[in-house]
Amino acid sequence: MIFAKSGDVDFIQRVKNLKFSGFVHSTFNRTFNIFCQENSELYTIACGQMDNGPNTIVIEADSFEKLNLEVNDIVYSNHHILYIGDKMAITLERVENWESILPTYPEDLNRLKINLNKMKSYIDIHGKSGGIKKALSQTPFEKEMSNLLEKRTNLLFSELLKNRMSAALQHAVSLIGLGPGLTPSGDDFLVGLFTILNMRHSPFISDHFFCEEVVKKAKDLTNDISFMALKKASAGQVRESIIVLVNSLINGKENELILALKNVLNIGSSSGTDIALGLICGLEVNLFAGGKVCLYKR
């Protein structure tokens, strides 16, 4: 029996209400994913050092390496306990509820402008390359991929600034599945962008349909894990570390911002950097849409 530390409130309620059945979809050292037969979504069980996230429960374990979990192992819930075949039982007896709630877009933009400049400078120096941020040394294939990512993110940014949503939709869709990693760089960039566009009082909130339309076209263009991240982000549901970073951008002092940014940059190989660049894109678009001068030229 393993205790759950914290988890997404909807996931917890689904388990407690005996409405969860499915099978193991994919396994990794610190996480594994479950396909839920009731709603066809992926749910994640994460080790204790991971942060909270949509459809995620964090448990008191350091690794899943020695549990011999296998794809298609049966998963079901019974009496507040989630069973992973005969290999693991996760009790929700003392779990802490967590919910993905984005901050409100600020009225006073001074702190945001200052922190956004600091964030971009930090990424220029410390961001992980290999995705949207170009690596110094690249194979011909990596160079071509990097050029495509740069071109398509710039085109998306340009069309969003001009409020040409049909063209922006096409460029956003062209990013899906593009780039290296389990969650491709283009997908990660869109997760960051969707995060900002879903903030309450966002100047771009009236174009929320944009995120939904991108996701409608994403299912067959990327893998199941990345698609679920996009689907949740399109509704404003993202990992806790991303929410902390957005809060720090709005209200944080420099040390708070850098700590939060480091935590996001440590996601995956280049995923965190790609997400952070998507956040920057979304904030630039918001600043421009709100009648402010755009901070950066691309």
What's this model's pTM, rounded to 2 decimal places?
A: 0.94
Domain assignment of residue 296, yes or no: no
Q: Is residue 103 part of a domain?
A: no
Query: Is position 13 within any domain?
Result: yes
CATH number at residue 55: 2.40.50
Q: Which residue has the tokens 């209400």?
A: 17
Domain boundary among 52, 68, 98: 98
pLDDT value, residue 290: 64
Q: 281 and 218 in one domain? A: yes
Residue 247 and residue 203 share a domain: yes
Q: Do 159 and 249 have their domain in common?
A: yes
Judge if 216 and 177 occupy the same domain. yes
How far, CA to CA in Å, does 71 sit from each of 25, 124, 268?
5, 39, 22
298 in a domain, yes or no?
Answer: no
Residue 38 has pLDDT above 80, yes or no: yes
Select from 75, 98, 121 the last residue of a domain: 98
* Closest residue by Cα to residue 273 from 218, 191, 214, 211: 191
Same domain, 251 and 120: yes
Instruction: Say whether both 92 and 188 belong to one domain.
Output: no
Pairing type for strands 2-8 and 81-84 reads: unpaired
If asked whether residues 80 and 123 sit together in one domain, one would say no
Beta bridge partners of 46: 31, 58
* pLDDT at residue 180, as a whole number: 87
Q: What is the pLDDT of residue 207?
A: 56
Domain boundary among 76, 98, 120: 98
Q: Are 114 and 252 in contact (CB under 8 A)?
A: no
pLDDT in tens, 73-102: 999 999 899 999 999 999 999 999 999 999
pLDDT at 293: 39
Predicted pLDDT at 70:
95
Residues 217 and 269 in one domain: yes
pLDDT at residue 208, rounded to an integer: 64
Closest by Cα among 103, 119, 4 to 50:
4
Torsion 76-63-244-185 (CA) sign: negative
| pLDDT tens track for 188-232 | 999 999 999 999 988 876 556 899 999 999 999 999 999 999 999
Pairwise CA distance, residues 279 & 66, whole Å: 37
What is the distance between the alpha carbons of residues 108 and 110, in angstroms, rounded to a whole number? 6
Is the pLDDT at 49 greater than 90, yes or no? yes
CA atoms within 13 A on the CB side of 70: 7
Domain that holds residue 184: 110-289
Cα(3)–Cα(81) distance, rounded to whole angstroms? 9
Residue 154, in any domain of the structure: yes
Per-residue pLDDT tens digits for 136-177: 888 898 889 999 999 999 999 999 999 899 999 999 999 999
Over residues 31-49, mean pLDDT: 97
* Predicted confidence (pLDDT) per residue in 227-283, tens digit: 999 999 999 999 999 999 999 999 999 999 999 999 999 999 999 999 999 999 999
Whether residue 298 has pLDDT greater than 90: no
Q: How far apart are CA 33 and CA 29, in angstroms?
A: 11
Q: Do residues 232 and 191 make contact, with C-beta atoms less than 8 angstroms apart?
A: no
Asked whether residue 280 is domain-assigned, the answer is yes
Quote the pLDDT of residue 205: 61
Sign of the Cα torsion 171, 176, 177, 182 reads: positive
Q: Does 59 fall in a domain?
A: yes
Mean pLDDT for the chain? 93
What pLDDT, on the 0 to 100 scale, is given for residue 172?
Answer: 97
Q: Are residues 77 and 11 in the same domain?
A: yes
Question: What is the predicted pLDDT for the residue at 136?
Answer: 80
Whether 176 and 59 map to the same domain: the answer is no
| Overall domain count for the chain | 2
Give yes or no: residues 122 and 237 share one domain: yes
Q: Are residues 203 and 70 in the same domain?
A: no
